[in-house]
Each structure stands twice: as structure tokens, then as C-alpha cells.
Amino acid sequence: MISLKSWWIGSVLSLLLLSLLVPGTFGWGKDGHHVICEIAQGYLSEDALVGVKQLLPDYAEGELSAICFWADEIRWHYHWSRPLHYVDTPDFRCNYQYCRDCHDSAGHKDMCVTGAIYNYTNQLTSSLDVPDSEIKYNLTEALMFLSHFIGDVHQPLHVGFIGDEGGNTITVRWYRRKTNLHHVWDTMIIESALKTYYNSDLTTMIQAIQQNITNEDISSWENCNGTVCPDPYASESVNLACKFAYRNATPGSTLGDDYFISRLPVVEKRLAQSGIRLAAVLNRIFSSNLPIAKE
């Protein structure tokens, strides 16, 4: 039997090794995804709420927000899904094009966050009026992936530059803590906002974001000529990455109050937009499925 101590050292070493090998390009942290999905659930139509609840695993107890971090938790197990969390764009161009950018590092087409959003939306829409025995996909997984990736595509640095891996290789300090720029946008801005403005209470933060959403916001954010529109969301993200995320965040810089106060509104708006747009796509998916068609 190995001693507890050597087990512990072994685990720490292997975790360290893993984190060195694989930079953390994995989307809003747990809090961000929770905020997005809790906002989304409030805007679901009756049909969508029924459809979503049928697909949610039991442990979610009817809450979409319980499964929105799943895609990050299984990223080791489903190794193939790792490139689906982001899309890299050419350095300093500040634009995104599906044909040019949506592929993994080996060049496989469609293996990126916008490709994944189309993929899982299609799996859901193409399966809903099909008898159970003929469904080819795991629709629970499709829902869990879609809910996560709609969030990720709104994180500006998930549509960042290829050369710095969406800010992952840009080492900065967030106040006194050493971290990287990508992580600042996934997690640290939200974490600092919670502490500074929301008494460390996520529910209070969600309410504040919700109260800020106007009917005009909703109608312009929902606008989409098909079932789902990830390409304009990716274009918005890379624009925000250039205007706000990369600006004044050169390698080795220390980011503090100025950066935090000017970027927090961007983060809050992206969280709100993801929530509204996730609800909109789920409402479209589940409204095309009229229950009378099922016999």
C-alpha cells in the first residue's frame, strides 16, 4: 500500500503536469455558466420548459443551471470535445469568419464553438418529431452541450487570437494574484464583482443583471433569421476582445481597479445576452415540435 503522503504528492504532481500540458481554455467559470442558464430558464416558453425538463438528467431537479457546467467537467473524459469550447482567429485582425476559423488545430472543419452550436441545435431539431427508437443522438448531452457553448461563444476571449490561445498564454496579475488573461475573463472579473458589489451572493448578482435587461434589449438580442445564429455572436466577441480584453493587458501587466471597473459592464452584458439567446434558441427548437404530430 502506498502511503497517504506519497499518494498526495503523486496526485498533486499529476494535476500540476496536466495543468501544464493543457492550458485552461474552457469558458466562463462555474459561476458564469450558472448565471447564464438561470437567466435563460426565466425566459423559456411553456413548450420549451416542458421539452427541457424532459431531457434534463434527474439530478438537475428541473433546473437548467444544474447542467450548464457539465461540458467542462467531462472534458477529460470526452477528449474530442475540447476544441468545441472556442474558436481561434488570426492575430490582430479582430474579425471572425466561419470558413476560415472554425476548425481544430489539426484542421478538422466545424470543430469549434460555432460549429458545435450548429451541431447540437441540429441534433435537437432533427430528433424532436422522430419516434424514440429512431433517435440517433443523446439529446440530454445535446442540450447540455448547447447550453454551455451558447455561453462560451459570448466570452470575448473564446473568440480570441490563435497566437496567444485566447489570452491563455498572456500572464498577468489580477490585483496581486498571478494568473492569465483568459482566466481573468472566465472567472476573476465575476469573482471580484461578487465580492465587491454582491456580498458574495450569486443570486443577488443574477437579480441585478436581470433587472437591467429591457424589452428593447431582448428583441434586438433575440434577432436571428434561423434557429440559431452563433456567427454574429462570435463576431461580437472578437470585437469585444480587441476593444476591451486585450487592450492594456500586455504580458506581465497588473490589472486592477481601472480594468475591473471598465470591463465589468461588458461581462455583465455578455452574461445577459447569453441567457436571453439561449432561451431564444431553446424556444425555437421546442416550438417547431407540435405535440399533436407525435403518434
Ligand X SMILES: *[C@@H]1O[C@H](CO)[C@@H](O)[C@H](O)[C@H]1NC(C)=O
Q: Would you tell me which residues interact with ligand X (CB under 6 A)?
A: 80, 84, 110-111, 115-116, 119, 138, 140-141, 208-209, 212, 225-226, 265, 268
**Residue 169, C-alpha cell as written in the block:** 498564454
Cβ at position 8, least distance to ligand X in Å: 30
Alpha carbons 91 and 85: distance in angstroms, whole number: 19
CB of 33 within 8 A of CB of 68? yes
Alpha carbons 181 and 174: distance in angstroms, whole number: 9
CB of 127 within 8 A of CB of 146? no
Cβ at position 83, least distance to ligand X in Å: 9
Nearer to ligand X, 80 or 175 (CB): 80
Nearer to ligand X, 97 or 140 (CB): 140
Can you give the C-alpha Rg of the chain in angstroms? 20
Degrees to nearest 5, angle at CA 168 with 167 and 171: 85
Cβ at position 237, least distance to ligand X in Å: 17
Cβ at position 26, least distance to ligand X in Å: 16
Nearer to ligand X, 3 or 225 (CB): 225
Cβ at position 28, least distance to ligand X in Å: 15
Cβ at position 114, least distance to ligand X in Å: 9
Nearer to ligand X, 127 or 180 (CB): 127
Can you tell me whether residue 97 is helix, strand or coil?
A: coil
Nearer to ligand X, 116 or 170 (CB): 116
Strand partners, 179: 172
Nearer to ligand X, 177 or 195 (CB): 195
Distances (CA, A) of 252 to 177, 183, 234, 258: 12, 14, 27, 16
Helix 30-42 with 189-197: angle, nearest 10 deg: 70
Residue 111, Cβ neighbours under 10 Å: how many? 20
Alpha carbons 160 and 96: distance in angstroms, whole number: 9
Cβ at position 39, least distance to ligand X in Å: 11
Alpha carbons 94 and 53: distance in angstroms, whole number: 39
Nearer to ligand X, 173 or 269 (CB): 269
Cβ at position 120, least distance to ligand X in Å: 7
CB of 116 within 8 A of CB of 97? no
Nearer to ligand X, 131 or 226 (CB): 226
Beta strands in the chain (DSSP E): 171-174, 177-180, 254-255
